[in-house]
Chains A and B, each alone.
Chain A
């Protein structure tokens, strides 16, 4: 048996995007569908942003008038989540006039979504050249609402959902496999209509002329509606409902008014701390303000109020024991939004932009806060997590070990999906420590689906490598002859001519 030393520079995880860093606006609205999907606006939206998602107006078969509102809420939550990420953008696409759009046959795009679901979202993502489509449905649910978000990953916008490992020893050797699950049905949210808006909103001024009197409140949900009054910038408001971009709020105890969501900051519902000791709870959202209490913070805390501090850093007012006070956002390990999927989408943004450490944290946060998520979605998230560890791992061995553990978990969740075995084979073969295990995974994958393209490609690569007597590149301290025989048997059984 040929024994070889460790292969130098074996691993290079090339996931996507070795592109120049270029700051870009984080979000932009496109009323793209008023002129049909072929409308010129679709070509202009965030054109220069390299990695982007589109949030589509949620379909609203029950006519709750919340379809656009929920897409706006999610859009803002995603923007909050990725606010520190360069060259990433989120488009909000909505159809204000409700006109029948003919760009996709004779269907309104919402009807298109309602009937075609993920296939429609993919088509729209292709039009807008985005990597992700976020969309959803608002459905009447007894006396409450069911809000079902969906996430469609557009694999045509670059190979960002493929994990490829290159060999440093053989220059043309690349092992790659797609990450499973590009059509994800996310965990639905069920609640009463009012509860869905029961969250911290804080006023800000978005008028170019400033807000000398404060943020204007309107009597109705329109800019044409008379001004009902003003509230100071930085005030917390009590939202009770929403109509398109207008938040309805309770005002002066017994009155209601509307404020444009552009004049509101949105913050997480909960924040999580990881074993923070002797944290000062402050009387206001400033480092210099007086200390209310010194506390240890570990676990989840409801955000009672929120504000922007110096340098636009978010501050959160929380309760610990009997003390209530403000804590700086930099101490927070995880933010939880009304839609748990925001952390998943944020993680995918980071993965796509090459921030693998951030991706790992966000994806782990998502897995922690969405334990009831479907097995298919969780399996896909574990695969992205594994890919993030491989791509961002400083220590190859540690990264590979953690990635394999993630992939094992993924295989438990979807044991009949060849994709997870393909991916695990790539990691095992690419790391040089699991030649036989990698081959077994290829066999497992082909056994589940003999026509699986990735498994076929992986096997063809291995056959080629074996024919070139190059297996030692992938097999440290392993029985290469046995591996060659195994490859031969797999070729006989599965490989198409």
Chain B
């Protein structure tokens, strides 16, 4: 028996050591304009659960809290910053690939200068116009139904790219809208589709500004945010553009949010057309939208969901998966949503 006890003790020690070493620091800064904000309440929320970690910002506006690594099936941790007299601000912290820890926000969490409108909360997802993202500043109306995809203007860096970028930004929304509708309506056996609209914002977002895009998306109650940029360069005597487009689906269900999909492409500069980008993305935008819509619907289900609603969403996911190849970049996400639906079916 002694060896068995020894093994058990060693396992327990390892587990304990593992837990201790796996604690994740989350750091950041709270600001109002350029001013650091002290004593803001910092809370993290996992799924729909109560706050799992709490803290406060210091005199310099900075905060540091410790959280557990995210469970295997969870992709995002919610960070809620509140300060009396200001609208709460929600940030989604994505899970780092290796450690399972949530990534700290890279930019300061910006509080709104005014009081929140009566009856609105951040967790309800109804307003939270943080970071100074007014509709005027974004040149866009907040989506009332949450079925709008917002496109940030593509920036093309390099001499003489202005015209190309202008044409691209002018025609891209129509093409994206068309792609989404065409894909949605081609899904077999699904009778009703979300009436998705595509709007532009005037705030440029780089492909790497994931947090900012999330923030803008949440403030506009978006279904998704598309951002992209390109750079002109010389390649064997010809000018080409290295282009990257990122689509971020906004809705999250419990702790699961869609993973941003980034697509990179190098194209001759004279081929920079919206259709060229659409071609590269193929039906990806349409698939992303269907996924985002499913997450949005999942999140809106009551605690004891109607099985018919689950059945509809299940059929939607089956239909979406039918269109995929074995190496479709969104296949894993569809299967994850299918698993969530399956849990709801078999759940209490």
Contact = CB atoms under 8 A, between A and B. Distances in A.
Interface of A: 61-62, 114-119, 137, 139-144, 146, 148, 150, 180-185, 188, 190, 374-376, 412-419, 448-449, 451
Nearest to A146: B275
9 contacts: A119-B185, A139-B174, A140-B170, A182-B188, A183-B187, A185-B183, A374-B282, A415-B325, A448-B318
A39 B326 CA distance: 47
B171 A140 contact: yes
A413 B327 CA distance: 10
Contacts of B188: 180-183
B2 interface: no
A36 to B, nearest CB: 23
B311 to A, nearest CB: 9
Q: List 6 tightest A-B contacts by C-beta distance, closest first.
A: A117-B185, A417-B322, A142-B273, A142-B167, A146-B275, A183-B186
Contact of A190 (B273, B315, B321): B273
A152 to B, nearest CB: 9
Contacts of B324: 414-416
Counting chain B CB atoms within 10 Å of each CB, which of A139, A144, A180, A451 scores highest?
Answer: A139
Contacts of B183: 185
A413 B318 contact: no
A144 B181 CA distance: 22
B182 A374 contact: no
Contacts of B275: 139, 141-142, 144, 146, 188, 190
A190 B326 contact: no
A184 B181 CA distance: 13
B283 interface: yes
Contacts of A418: 322
A344 to B, nearest CB: 15
A424 to B, nearest CB: 15
Q: How large is the interface on B (under 10, 10 to 19, 20 to 34, 35 or more residues)?
A: 20 to 34
A188 B175 CA distance: 11
Given A141-B175, A143-B167, 5 more contacts: A142-B168, A142-B171, A183-B186, A414-B323, A415-B326
Contact of A416 (B168, B195, B278, B321): B321
Contacts of B164: 142
A458 B321 CA distance: 22
B276 interface: yes
B178 interface: yes
B325 A141 contact: no
A441 to B, nearest CB: 16
A381 to B, nearest CB: 15
Contacts of A150: 182
Interface string B135-177: 0000000000000000000000000000010011011001100
Interface in B262-310: 272-276, 278-279, 282-283
Interface string B52-87: 000000000000000000000000000000000000
Contacts of B168: 142
Nearest to B164: A142
B101 to A, nearest CB: 33
Which one of B185, B195, B325 has the greatest number of beta carbons of chain A within 10 Å? B185
